[in-house]
């Protein structure tokens, strides 16, 4: 597989302008109505694929009922711009008639209402309606793990066409809506001329493309990708995962809803079978083919599959049947290749997953290679030259972290038995203990990843139990994980910027509108992330654009610490930060942790290397089998008989 | 004149038969989910293939069309042969699907493996669609005339047959998972694949076994579908699969007795809602149950036994 060469910004610009000119001039280059109709359908499928790409590609949520939102957008316009509903006329309708949304009809002497909602209003209107349905159906299930969403959306995708088939008074059932009004502009009705639809479709794709790209490159896009890579770590980094998943789901539904209105206005009819499962699968195949998470890939996949069905397969069909006639083969003459298009979709799905998972246009750009100099440069020590701990909270006498009677149970097993401890502000407290003694469970309980059975955890006087992981991070507690939970397919700098998620104020709307304040904030976040990486000298700075998965183990640990620091915590919790580091690296890191304390940070540390603990910790707590065995100064602990027995084994204790 | 109670009892009898079929199908979802934490969409259409394999075997035995009625030993022989061949073919199909399309995806994050199963499912569906020209085919009904009537409640011989087959298969699977060495390895892998591997469990073999067992049961369910409804078609996998998955979630996904209980309940709910509400809304009702269970009791009635991956 040869990677697609990265284009320079200048060439990219030229390419885009060239492409735009060709697309705009297409009706002049090819005046054939049928071809323009195919092109207009390509725009509709591209818009659908862009929406699903946000859900599946960006946020990693498998949505198998996507066509349902397409249907909702389609029926919303279809019902509000046809003769389907004809409630009796009352004067109350007059104000809608005045603005042209309805008109008064007289059928067999009865005055009835005829809905004539304008197409241009229904484009955003349907997007909004579909997004509301997306929220209504996503909200109950998005709290759960991703897999369930697939099956729920599969069911939802089935239900919507069933409702459309059976709720005849609203939808005219299986026969479908007829006489849906075509759009009007400047007194001109689009009718059945494909050219205006083609231009409207192009405009919609352009809009959705812009929205997709801006969201992708914003804090929202980074948060989606963090959720896709590791939902637990995303929550621990301050991302409200449920809300962001719902946002992705709603935006994807909105894209589909808008496209539904466009598509129905073009066809001027809507039947339930236009929105069945095969449509959802087809859109999924489009983004898998193009590359999940890749905006241009979604469009390429959509155009390719549309053309496959409307041009390539019929052409191949004719060719094969013609060849069959030529050689007198009845089998070839009878062969209907066009009906095998769904079989081809299935083969594309499996083939892409097995052989080219990243799609034709991979979403992840190839990171720049390190120069030989950078690779062989001698390691330098960095310095912390930024206020990691902004003095926004006065340090009082109040203990920063106060744990009382904390009990955690896994089934019948007591992982922590009524643990009480306190961490004073500005201290480094180390927790040691054999494997399985409850150290990581303690960390998980403090950061909201496990729900304690009993007890209380108060931080600066505020109870943490019951808060979500992202809320706890916002209170000023950030952590690293024992088994490193970075976002492996994102770059080093993106990982650190995700650590700042909770501090960034600009939301998705600002990103879509491209507000200057949002851009300035992004730039500042990047500068700050680079400064944090600078803490580790030249170990990480030259690798800022590399994928985390390409880093050494020790460097991943460093990135995780930088990511935790990026949230500007008051309490930093490090779970075995020196694991996998050699002695020199461990001591280097220990000194850096010491420097963090000097900046006023409170640090809670799980560590196995006793020399690191002795060097750093003001206070040591020993856990064993969920009990607090001992606590005190490092030197005292080192001489404590009970600790030696538990930690080193009885035999060693008596040597 | 049928009394309301007799009507209810009749629907319960019908529901138990459908439920037994859903339970067999749900077991395949639960076995694979329990071990790989993967929703296997290919399972939908392995079930559909099963009904066609059963049809082919019965036709090969000369039992074509619905006029052929058998009794005694030939009947038992024909049904047993159809069952065994169907289960073997589907079991092997499941193992092949796992070996060639899912094993390379193991350890890949995100929805990739699920998308692969969708692709496989779609291929099976469309191959049969093209091969049968999208036609529904008649399924033999060799037990057609042997019905029992108890107080206006008709229990058809084939319903009894379905109960017997399902009961034997479910008890067999349960005992296998509980007692055999491989069953123990399966339970260990379901709890913690990495630890099981370190303890010398051949995880690949465990996964293959789960796919074989699950797919063989789906094959049996496919045969039962044909015998029960007297037709089969390329499209039968979708709604039966969705119901069976709902059953697995209702019982507690990953939980073998849960899948059986869930299957029976879904079968009863389907016949009761068709009787007392309307057939056309049965799908909507079952789907609503899926959502309600996921929202209010995601662990299901008997508790989910999903792998522990922290």
User: B17 or A108: whose pLDDT is higher?
Assistant: B17
The nearest CA of chain B is from the CA of A164 a distance in Å of 12
Between strands A177-178 and A269-270, the pairing is antiparallel
- If one counts every other C-beta atom within 10 angstroms of the C-beta of residue A3, the result is 9
Give pLDDT, residue A385.
58
**CB-CB under 8 Å, A152 with B294:** yes
DSSP string covering A364-384, please? SPPPPPPPHHHHHPPP-----
Cα A313 to chain center, whole Å?
35
Q: How far is CA A392 from CA A237, A528, A570, B183, B277, in A?
A: 20, 18, 10, 58, 62
Q: What is the mean pLDDT of chain B?
A: 88
Residue B101 lies in a domain: yes
A109 and A56 in a common domain: no
* Residues A437, A415: Cα–Cα separation, whole Å: 7
Residue B284 lies in a domain: no
Q: Tell me the mean pLDDT in the region A435-462.
A: 90
A380 backbone dihedrals φ, ψ, rounded to 5°: -110, 155
A426 and A456 in a common domain: yes
Give pLDDT, residue A111.
87
SS3 A307: helix
Give pLDDT, residue B308.
44
Give pLDDT, residue A216.
93
- A25 pLDDT more than 90: no
Residue A431 lies in a domain: yes
Ranges of beta strands (E only) in A108-195 are: 110-115, 177-178, 184-185, 188-189
Residues of chain B found within 8 Å of residue A152, distances taken between Cβ atoms = 290-291, 294
A174 and A112 in a common domain: no
Residue A388 lies in a domain: no
Residues of chain A found within 8 Å of residue B114, distances taken between Cβ atoms = 62, 147, 150
Boundaries of domain holding B99: 23-236
Of A116, A140, A167, the domain-final residue: A116
Q: Summarize pLDDT for B234-252 with one digit per residue, the tens.
A: 999 988 998 999 999 999 8
A558 and A459 in a common domain: yes
Q: What is the CA radius of gyration of chain B?
A: 19
Task: Compute the CA torsion angle A206, A208, A213, A217 (nearest 10 deg).
Answer: 150
Taking alpha carbons only, the member of B14, B288, B160 closest to residue A155 is B288
- If one counts every other C-beta atom within 10 angstroms of the C-beta of residue A307, the result is 16
Give pLDDT, residue A265.
94
Q: What is the mean pLDDT of chain A?
A: 88
A277 touches chain B (CB under 8 A): yes
User: A351 or B146: whose pLDDT is higher?
Assistant: A351
A165 and A88 in a common domain: no
Q: B86-97: string of b/e by CB count within 10 Å (b at 16+)?
A: bbebbbebbbeb
Q: Summarize pLDDT for B163-202 with one digit per residue, the tens.
A: 999 999 999 998 998 888 888 888 888 888 888 888 888 8
Residue B12 lies in a domain: no
Q: Which helix (H) or strand (E) holds B291?
A: helix B282-296
Residue B4 lies in a domain: no
Q: Summarize pLDDT for A572-601 with one digit per residue, the tens.
A: 999 999 888 888 889 889 988 988 888 888
Name, in order, each residue with C-beta under 8 angstroms of A95's C-beta and a sequence gap of 6 or more.
none
DSSP character for B3?
Answer: -
Give pLDDT, residue A188.
86
Number of domains in chain B: 1
- A370 pLDDT more than 80: no
* Residues B165, B170: Cα–Cα separation, whole Å: 9
CB B251 within 8 A of CB B297: no
Taking CA–CA distances from A231, the nearest residue in chain B reads: B110
A604 backbone dihedrals φ, ψ, rounded to 5°: -115, 130
Residue A373 lies in a domain: no
Q: Tell me the mean pLDDT in the region B14-29.
A: 93
Which of B114, B116, B294 lies closest to A141 in CB terms? Answer: B294
Residue B203 lies in a domain: yes
Residue B173 lies in a domain: yes
Q: Tell me the mean pLDDT in the region A530-550.
A: 88
A614 backbone dihedrals φ, ψ, rounded to 5°: -65, -40
SS3 A423: strand
A190 and A100 in a common domain: no
Residue B269 lies in a domain: no
Number of domains in chain A: 3
**CB-CB under 8 Å, B283 with A281:** no
Q: Summarize pLDDT for A142-197 with one digit per residue, the tens.
A: 877 667 888 888 888 888 888 898 898 888 888 888 888 888 888 888 888 899 99
Residues of chain A found within 8 Å of residue B280, distances taken between Cβ atoms = 162, 165-166
* Residues A166, A175: Cα–Cα separation, whole Å: 11
Residue A625 lies in a domain: yes
Residue A511 lies in a domain: yes
Name, in order, each residue with C-beta under 8 angstroms of A511's C-beta and a sequence gap of 6 or more.
A214, A215, A217, A218, A219, A220, A221, A518
Which CATH number characterizes residue A289's domain? 1.10.3470
A431 and A446 in a common domain: yes
The nearest CA of chain A is from the CA of B114 a distance in Å of 8
- B217 pLDDT more than 50: yes
A185 and A86 in a common domain: no
DSSP string covering A74-123, please? HHHHHHHTSSS--PBP-GGGHHHHHTTSEEEEEETTEEEEEE---HHHHH
Residues of chain B found within 8 Å of residue A168, distances taken between Cβ atoms = none
Q: Which helix (H) or strand (E) holds A629?
A: strand A627-632
A231 and A196 in a common domain: yes
Give pLDDT, residue A655.
46
Q: Ranked by mean pLDDT, which of A640-644, B105-109, B114-118, B273-277 comes out on top?
A: B114-118
- Name the region of B240 (left: φ>0; alpha: ψ -120 to 50; beta: rest): alpha
The H helix count followed by the E strand count for chain A is 28, 16
Which CATH number characterizes residue A421's domain? 3.40.50.300
Of A98, A116, A134, the domain-final residue: A116
- A651 pLDDT more than 70: no
Of A278, A313, A348, the domain-final residue: A313
Residue of B110, B242, B309 to mutate, testing the A interface (most A Cβ within 10 Å of its Cβ): B110
Give pLDDT, residue A395.
46
Q: Where are the alpha helices (DSSP H) in A308-377?
A: 313-327, 330-334, 341-355, 372-376
Question: Mean pLDDT lowest for which of A331-335, A395-399, A472-476, B29-33?
Answer: A395-399
Which of A148, A158, A349 lies closest to B116 in CB terms? Answer: A349
A256 backbone dihedrals φ, ψ, rounded to 5°: -65, -40
- A398 pLDDT more than 70: no
- A371 pLDDT more than 80: no
Residue percentage of chain A with pLDDT more than 90: 44
* Residues B221, B90: Cα–Cα separation, whole Å: 11
* Residues A60, B20: Cα–Cα separation, whole Å: 35
SS3 B278: coil
A160 and A278 in a common domain: yes
Give pLDDT, residue A41.
94
A275 and A159 in a common domain: yes
The nearest CA of chain B is from the CA of A81 a distance in Å of 28
* Residues A145, B298: Cα–Cα separation, whole Å: 10
Residue percentage of chain A with pLDDT more than 70: 94
Give pLDDT, residue B310.
36
Residue A597 lies in a domain: yes
- A18 pLDDT more than 60: yes
HEC profile of A450-507: CCCCEEEEEECCEECCCCCHHHHHHCCEEECCCCCCCCCCCEHHHHHHHHCHHHCCCC
Q: Summarize pLDDT for A31-73 with one digit per residue, the tens.
A: 888 899 999 999 999 999 999 999 999 999 999 999 999 999 9
Between strands A462-463 and A454-459, the pairing is antiparallel
* Residues A19, A96: Cα–Cα separation, whole Å: 42
SS3 A536: coil
A551 backbone dihedrals φ, ψ, rounded to 5°: -85, 160
Residues of chain B found within 8 Å of residue A351, distances taken between Cβ atoms = 119
Boundaries of domain holding A49: 33-80+119-313
Residue B27 lies in a domain: yes
A110 and A212 in a common domain: no
Residue A610 lies in a domain: yes
């Amino acid at each position: 597989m040869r990677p697609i060469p990265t284009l320079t910004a200048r060439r990219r610009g030229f390419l885009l302008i060239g492409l735009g000119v060709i697309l705009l001039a297409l009706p002049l280059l090819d005046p054939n109505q049928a071809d323009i109709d195919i092109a207009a359908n390509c725009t509709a499928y591209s818009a659908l694929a862009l929406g699903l790409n946000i859900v599946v590609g960006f946020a990693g949520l498998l949505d198998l009922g996507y066509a349902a939102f397409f249907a909702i957008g389609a029926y919303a316009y279809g019902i509000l711009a046809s003769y389907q509903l004809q409630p009796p006329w009352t004067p109350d309708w007059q104000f809608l008639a005045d603005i042209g949304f309805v008109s008064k009809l007289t059928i067999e002497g009865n005055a009835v209402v005829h809905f004539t909602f304008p197409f241009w209003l229904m484009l955003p209107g349907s997007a909004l309606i579909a997004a509301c349905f997306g929220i209504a159906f996503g909200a109950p299930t998005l709290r759960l793990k991703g897999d369930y969403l697939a099956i729920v959306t599969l069911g939802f995708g089935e239900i919507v066409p069933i409702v459309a088939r059976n709720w005849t008074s609203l939808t005219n059932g299986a026969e479908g809506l007829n006489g849906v009004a075509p759009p009007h502009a400047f007194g001109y009705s689009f009718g059945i001329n494909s050219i205006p639809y083609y231009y409207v479709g192009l405009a919609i794709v352009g809009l959705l493309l812009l929205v997709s790209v801006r969201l992708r490159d914003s804090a929202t896009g980074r948060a989606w990708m963090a959720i896709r890579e590791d939902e637990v770590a995303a929550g621990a980094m301050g991302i409200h995962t449920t809300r962001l998943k719902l946002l992705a789901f709603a935006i994807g539904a909105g894209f589909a809803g808008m496209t539904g209105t466009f598509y129905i206005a073009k066809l001027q009819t809507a039947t339930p079978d236009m929105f069945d499962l095969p449509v959802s699968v087809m859109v999924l195949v489009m983004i898998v083919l193009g590359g999940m998470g890749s905006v241009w890939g979604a469009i390429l996949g959509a155009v390719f599959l549309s053309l496959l069905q409307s041009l390539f397969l019929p052409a191949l069909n004719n060719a094969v049947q013609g060849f069959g006639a030529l050689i007198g083969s009845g089998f070839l003459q009878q062969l209907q290749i066009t009906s095998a298009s769904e079989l081809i979709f299935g083969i594309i799905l499996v083939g892409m997953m097995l052989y080219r998972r990243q799609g034709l246009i991979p979403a992840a750009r190839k990171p720049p290679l390190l120069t030989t100099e950078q690779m062989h440069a001698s390691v330098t020590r960095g310095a912390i030259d930024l206020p990691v701990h902004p003095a926004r909270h006065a340090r009082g006498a109040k203990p920063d972290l106060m744990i009382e009677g904390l009990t955690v149970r896994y089934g019948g097993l007591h992982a922590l038995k009524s643990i009480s401890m306190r961490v004073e502000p500005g201290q480094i407290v180390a927790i040691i203990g054999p494997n399985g003694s409850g150290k990581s469970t303690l960390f998980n309980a403090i950061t909201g990843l496990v729900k304690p059975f009993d007890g209380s955890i108060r931080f600066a006087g505020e109870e943490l139990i019951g808060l979500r992981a992202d809320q706890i991070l916002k209170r000023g507690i950030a952590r690293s994980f024992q088994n490193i939970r970075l976002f492996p397919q994102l770059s080093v700098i993106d990982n650190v910027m995700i650590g700042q998620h909770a501090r960034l104020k600009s939301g998705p709307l600002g990103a879509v509108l491209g507000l200057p304040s949002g851009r300035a904030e992004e730039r500042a976040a990047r500068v700050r992330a680079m400064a944090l990486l600078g803490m580790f000298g030249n170990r990480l700075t030259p690798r800022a654009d590399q994928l985390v998965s390409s880093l050494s183990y020790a460097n991943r640990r460093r990135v995780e610490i930088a990511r935790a620091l990026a949230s500007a915590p008051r309490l930093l919790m490090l779970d075995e930060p020196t694991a996998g580091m050699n002695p020199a690296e461990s001591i280097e890191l220990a000194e850096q942790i010491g420097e963090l304390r000097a900046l006023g940070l409170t640090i809670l540390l799980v560590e196995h290397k006793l020399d690191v603990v002795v060097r750093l910790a003001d206070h040591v707590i020993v856990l064993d089998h969920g009990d607090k065995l001992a606590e005190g100064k490092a030197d005292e602990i080192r001489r404590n008989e009970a600790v030696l027995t538990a930690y080193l084994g009885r035999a060693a204790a008596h040597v | 004149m049928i009394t309301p109670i007799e009507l209810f009892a009749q629907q319960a009898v019908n529901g138990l038969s459908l439920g037994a079929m859903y339970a067999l199908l749900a077991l395949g979802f639960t076995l694979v989910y329990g071990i790989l934490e993967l929703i296997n969409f290919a399972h939908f259409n392995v079930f559909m293939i099963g009904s066609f394999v059963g049809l082919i075997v019965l036709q090969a035995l000369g039992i074509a069309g619905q006029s052929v009625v058998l009794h005694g030993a030939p009947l038992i022989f024909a049904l047993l042969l159809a069952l065994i061949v169907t289960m073997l073919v589907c079991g092997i199909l499941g193992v092949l699907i796992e070996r060639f399309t899912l094993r390379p995806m193991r350890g890949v994050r995100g929805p990739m493996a699920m998308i692969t199963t969708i692709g496989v499912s779609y291929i099976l569906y469309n191959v049969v669609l093209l091969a049968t020209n999208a036609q529904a085919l008649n399924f033999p009904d060799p037990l057609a005339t042997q019905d029992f009537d108890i107080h206006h409640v008709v229990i058809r011989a084939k319903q009894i047959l379905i109960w017997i087959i399902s009961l034997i298969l479910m008890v067999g699977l349960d005992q296998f998972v509980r007692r055999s060495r491989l069953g123990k390895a399966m339970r260990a892998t379901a709890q913690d694949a990495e630890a099981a591997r370190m303890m010398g469990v051949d995880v690949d073999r465990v996964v293959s076994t789960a796919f074989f067992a699950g797919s063989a049961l789906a094959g049996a369910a496919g045969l039962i579908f044909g015998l029960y409804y007297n037709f089969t078609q390329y499209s039968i996998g979708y709604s039966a699969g969705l119901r069976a998955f709902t059953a697995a979630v209702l019982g507690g996904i990953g939980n073998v007795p849960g899948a059986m209980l869930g299957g029976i309940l879904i079968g009863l709910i389907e016949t009761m809602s068709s009787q007392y509400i309307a057939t056309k809304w049965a799908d909507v009702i079952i789907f609503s149950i899926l959502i309600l269970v996921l929202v209010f009791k995601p662990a299901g009635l008997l508790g989910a036994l999903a792998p522990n991956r922290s």
